[in-house]
Amino acid sequence: AQKVTQAQTEISVVEKEDVTLDCVYETRDTTYYLFWYKQPPSGELVFLIRRNSFDEQNEISGRYSWNFQKSTSSFNFTITASQVVDSAVYFCALRENNAGNMLTFGGGTRLMVKP
């Protein structure tokens, strides 16, 4: 069973629009970690954020914000005032406490920001 679901395979927005990328996860562990990575056209995944299961406080970093809701098993990512440079594939990932260092990735969401 897929443990991380990114239902949006592709999103297209116009520059300056806000956009939210959805991530829903499934785990039986009470301790786990969630991650977001960005993969620009160059191919290299860039780490964006890590969140542990005991910290439900939302996080904001510049134009990026993350909304973690354990009640709905979601960890959504919002880009405010999107820019062309935000165009990339974004991956959500889960690390369960009993999985050691192994990550389970979602299928990814391709974001296209048009000028």
Partner 1 sequence: DVKVTQSSRYLVKRTGEKVFLECVQDMDHENMFWYRQDPGLGLRLIYFSYDVKMKEKGDIPEGYSVSREKKERFSLILESASTNQTSMYLCASSLSLHEQYFGPGTRLTVT
Residue 102 lies near partner 1 (rule: CB under 8 A)? yes
> What does DSSP say about strands 10-14 and 109-114: parallel, antiparallel, or unpaired?
parallel
Nearest to 21 by CA among 41, 1, 49: 49
Site string for partner 1, 13-52 (x = CB under 8 A): ----------------------x-x----xxxxxx--x--
> Residues 75, 66: contact at Cβ < 8 Å?
yes
Q: Which is nearer to partner 1, 11 or 80 (CB)?
A: 11
Q: CB of residue 45 vs partner 1: minimum separation in angstroms?
A: 4
CA distance 57 to 73: 14
User: Cα–Cα distances in Å, from 38 out to 30, 48, 64?
Assistant: 26, 7, 12
| Segment 65 to 94, residues that bind partner 1, using CB under 8 A | 91, 93
Query: Which amino acid type is present at position 87?
Result: S
Residue 7 lies near partner 1 (rule: CB under 8 A)? no
List residues binding partner 1 (CB under 8 A): 4, 6, 9, 35, 37, 42-47, 50, 91, 93, 95, 100-103, 105-108
